[in-house]
Amino acid sequence: MRVYPEKLQADLEKRIAPLYVVSGDEPLLVQETTDRIRAHLRDNGFTEREVFHAEGRGFDWDPLLFSVGSMSLFGDRKLLDVRLPTGKPGDKGGKALTSLAGQLSADTVMLLTTPRLDGSTTRTKWYKALDGAGVVVQIWPLERKDFPGWLNSRLRASGLQADQDAVELLAERLEGNLLAAVQEIERLRLTQGDGHVDAETVLGGVSDSSRFDVFRLIDAALEGDVARSLRIVRGLRQEGAEILALTGMLAREVRSLAAMSIERSNGASPASLMKKYRVFPKRQGIMTRALGRHTAESAQALAERLYHIDSRVKGLAVGDPWTELEGLVVELGGLDLGLAEPVPVIRRDV
């Protein structure tokens, strides 16, 4: 059963479903939605949690199936937290998910997180089984016209009172990037003792804040300026930038590029894609040029690199995530380093 994000809390308070599916390409909203579900389950006795990263065709679904039928080690209720970064479980995974939909009990709940699922995926047997057995929450990106209002609500929730000019300036600078917006609002909260934010405050903070180098990084990579992209990455590393925040901001661009590349290969025009994916007018040029450099396959390889970076940052795989990030921006810029190799997983979170 589908539930709108804004109605999820009310639904959680009424009942606990045997499974939840959260899908979308807006990292912040997806993260906040899954955090809300996990917190509610934890407050209701689901104190044991197992995390499964179904990262590709080589993923073994048997431990997940076994976990559904096994007792909790401590007799607690259990959450199976499953991440499906490609949104494609494959034949074996599809059968496993279809089977799981009918096996979950009042003491075992599954949370499945995926990127935005296309129409063909929502018509599969496994998806229909999950939709029929639990709650599906689809996260849609904010419309451009709604972004200033969202910003203003977040500012007020943080105890800040922003002038209209300040809100509009923030919206222009952030260009719909919610992760960057949250970071900037937190910076304003810490620096504005009186809680008042005007346009001058925003301009001063933006010009001094290294986090806005990330926007230049994204644009340089999409433009194909590999040398500049690498200089920015290395500069951000030296400044101690948080790599998960960087990859979160890159994820939106890469996933949009991958989705657009698939439709481009099927005959869609760049102009129609810019409109469908709500690309800001001043960024349509670089996105169109990026589409010209990438196929559906190369864009998907970029999405896989993002997952590899996340795995390395979290200690689930061996390797330097910053080196992998450099590889990502190089390939995003159009230089072919070859498809990303499978990540050597060193442990599974439980």
Residue 76, Ramachandran bin (φ over 0: left; ψ between -120 and 50: alpha; else beta): beta
| Position 113 confidence tier, pLDDT thresholds 50, 70, 90 | very high
Describe the chain by its helix, strand, coil percentages, rounded to 5.
60, 10, 30
Torsion of CA 272, 277, 281, 282, to 10 degrees: -120
- Are 90 and 121 in contact by the 8 Å Cβ rule? The answer is no
pLDDT for position 286: 87
Res. 346 pLDDT band, cuts 50 70 90: very low
Q: Fold for 239-332, please state it.
A: Zinc Finger, Delta Prime; domain 3 (1.20.272)
Nearest to residue 251, comparing CAs of 198, 285, 299, 187? 299
* pTM score: 0.60
Of all residues in the chain, the percent with pLDDT exceeding 70 is 90
Rounded Cα gap, residues 334 and 327, in angstroms: 11
Q: List Cα–Cα distances, 249 to 19, 175, 176, 239, in angstroms.
A: 28, 11, 11, 17
Strands (E), the chain: 19-24, 48-53, 78-83, 108-114, 135-139, 161-162, 196-197
For residue 320, with 0-12 CB atoms within 10 Å meaning exposed, 13-18 middle and 19 or more buried, which class applies? Answer: exposed
Take residue 208 and report the two structure tokens written for it. Answer: 């001094």
Task: Please give the radius of gyration of the chain, using alpha carbons only, rounded to the nearest integer.
Answer: 21
Domain 5-139 CATH (choose: 3.30.70.100, 3.40.50.12590, 3.10.310.10, 3.40.50.300): 3.40.50.300
What is the residue extent of each domain of the chain? 5-139, 144-208, 239-332
Q: Where does the pLDDT of residue 32 fall: very low under 50, low under 70, confident under 90, or very high at 90 and above?
A: very high
How large is the average pLDDT for residues 179-193? 85
| pLDDT value, residue 123 | 92
Residue with tokens 């199936």: 65
The answer to whether 81 and 54 are in contact (CB under 8 A) is no
Cα separation of 247 and 258, whole Å?
Answer: 15
Kindly indicate the confidence band of residue 345, based on its pLDDT and cuts at 50, 70 and 90. Answer: very low
**Helix or strand holding residue 340 (H, E):** none
Choice among 96-105, 119-128, 153-162, 277-286 with the minimum mean pLDDT: 277-286
Residue with tokens 């196929």: 295
Place of tokens 């290294």: 210
What is the structure's pLDDT at 213? 66
Distance CA 44, CA 150 (A): 30
Residue 285, helix vs strand vs coil: helix
Span 73-85, average pLDDT = 81
Q: Thinking of the domain 144-208, which architecture would CATH place it in? A: Orthogonal Bundle (1.10)
pLDDT tens-digit readout, 2-23: 899 889 999 999 999 999 999 9
Q: Residues 47-73: pLDDT tens digits?
A: 889 999 887 677 899 899 888 877 655
Alpha helices by DSSP H, listed for 73-114, are: 90-101
pLDDT band with cut points at 50, 70 and 90 for residue 350: very low
Cα(279)–Cα(16) distance, rounded to whole angstroms? Answer: 37
Pick from 266, 267, 260, 270: which is nearest to 300 by CA?
Answer: 260
